[in-house]
Copies of this chain bind each other. A is one copy, B any other.
Amino acid sequence: MTALLQSESRTSHAPVGENNANDADRSAVRRPDDALAGDVIRTLRHDGTLDPAHDPKLTRDEILGLYKLMVRVRILDDRLVALQRQGRIGFHIGSLGEEAAILGSAFAMRENDWIFPCYREFGAALLRGMPLQRYVDNMFGNANDPVKGRQMPDHYTYKKGHFGSISSPIGTQITQAAGFAWAAKIKKEDIAVLSYFGDGATSSNDFHNGLNFAGVFRAPTIFFCRNNGWAISVPTERQTASATFAEKGIAYGVPGVRVDGNDIFAVVKATRDAVARASRGEGPTLIEALTYRLSGHSTSDDPKAYRPDNTLDPWRALDPLARTRRYVEQHLGWNDDAQRALETEMDAEIKAAVAAAEKTELPSLDSLFEDVFASLPWHLEEQREELRKGPRAKGHGAH
């Protein structure tokens, strides 16, 4: 009898050699064949057919709708990076390469379900109905920004679409999602909550707390880990010594599932299954979506400093957009004309939204003091008066 609970050999991270992070060759970069080995759900086969065992049975319109949204998200990403390079917005953090993971999972949620986002899921917000203008206004932090110019770009909200508040500290939304779902369970409302986070976030206090509480109280939470290989410059093999992220669920009595995150069909299926489990009262699920961050971490990051560009090639070959496009071309009659029309349309939409956003004034001085509390206490009233009467900072004379 051996009582040693050994984790299986590592399949997800370093391509070769043993798990000895401290001695490991740090230049080793995860290749898809390592990452996608083992028990990973895949639906969209390399030959362009769908594995019936994991087919979410999407309608033609659903598939085309998802594909179009993937394209829109990518174009938007591209334009926002350009705007940042031009100095017109301050920052952008995108989802290049992760569109299938993000859109597939958000799509699988029911209308009454909720999303507790990380910072890369603007695609999910658009899917939940957030107007493009609202998003772009946030990128400019202007007076129409849903968060009133208080947070950085990519930190918007959209309550109407059951899309939560974004904050920068890694992981905090995980525990909050568990609490939200738990509250729904207490109130006997059949809703599920989707919480997004990265591979790096699995090391946070909140991953531990969120999964543990959800496990104990069977909160209908779907913990969706976008394993994109990196936490800024830190590769997954430096993040944990566990063989996979999915198996971390064992520590919490939470079933874990691994899915090809660049396969939008598989992502929809895995997330739907998790929603069904939650709805049956069986509690939370941890989904590890294997994908890859094809861009830098954000516009502030230069990935060349730690990741030779050619190591991306095998992952580029698995680009979720290209894979989905092949499918819609093969099976649903999509073609270059349709693609061009879509791109043109999106271009125009973005241009219009940007133009409107740039024309919009900055948030008012008074807005600096609102919403700290439900109403203004004396000390903030005094500080507001001070700012109102005082000289203005350079460049803010307008409002």
* Interfacial residues, chain A to chain B (CB-CB below 8 A): 1-7, 10, 19-22, 39-41, 53, 185, 203, 205, 207-209, 212, 215-218, 238-243, 246-259, 270, 283
Contacts and interface: CB of A to CB of B under 8 A. Distances in A.
5 contacts: A3-B40, A10-B253, A205-B205, A218-B241, A243-B253
Nearest to A242: B253
A271 to B, nearest CB: 13
Nearest to A23: B218
Given A3-B259, A253-B242, A257-B4, A212 B216 contact: no
Nearest to A206: B205
A5 B208 contact: no
Given A1-B53, A39-B1, A22 B218 contact: yes
Contacts of A270: 3
A240 to B, nearest CB: 6
A241 B257 contact: no
A270 B248 CA distance: 24
B216 A5 contact: no
Given A239-B216, A251-B251, A246 B208 contact: no
A238 B216 contact: yes
Most chain B CB atoms below 10 A, which of A53, A238, A250:
A250
B205 A6 contact: no
A3 to B, nearest CB: 4
Given A205-B208, A248-B251, A251-B250, A5 B256 contact: yes
Contacts of A218: 20-22, 241
